[in-house]
Amino acid sequence: MKLRIEDNSVRLRLSDDEVQHFGRTGRVSSSVRLGPHPDDQLEYSLERLPEGDPSDTVRILYASGSMAVRVPAALAQQWVTGSDIGFSEKLHVTETQELRILVEKDLDCRH
């Protein structure tokens, strides 16, 4: 899974295998090592919200060393099984600042 952070946007691009894994398990993750210690890394993930969760919007959770993009179950299912390449959401992180989240299938990707 590729992570791109630029200005006020976060983009995740998933290979076909990762999209299928996400469809089966509801979660796909990766990490990047940022230093010599085991804790010196950033883990990033795409997670499907549980069925019945009342949220109908994409969310992002951040904690020290971890970032998770959380997607409503219906949207996740539609994206995995449908022909749409991606989906996006704009979140208000402060009164004057938005964060754009974009999740895409990277189907031509050859890792």
- Residue 109: is its pLDDT beyond 90? no
- Residue 2 near residue 13, CB atoms below 8 Å: yes
- Residue 50: is its pLDDT beyond 60? yes
pLDDT in tens, 80-95: 999 999 999 999 989 9
Cβ partners under 8 Å of residue 40, min gap 6: 33, 34
Pick one of 3.30.1360, 2.40.240, 1.10.3470, 3.30.110 as the CATH number of 2-105. Answer: 3.30.1360
Question: Counting beta carbons within 10 angstroms of the beta carbon of residue 99, is it exposed (0 to 12), middle (13 to 18) or buried (19 or more)?
Answer: middle
| Token pair belonging to 22 | 């996400």
Domain boundaries, the chain: 2-105
- Residue 52: is its pLDDT beyond 90? no
- Residue 44 near residue 62, CB atoms below 8 Å: no
Confidence at residue 64, expressed as pLDDT on a 0 to 100 scale: 87
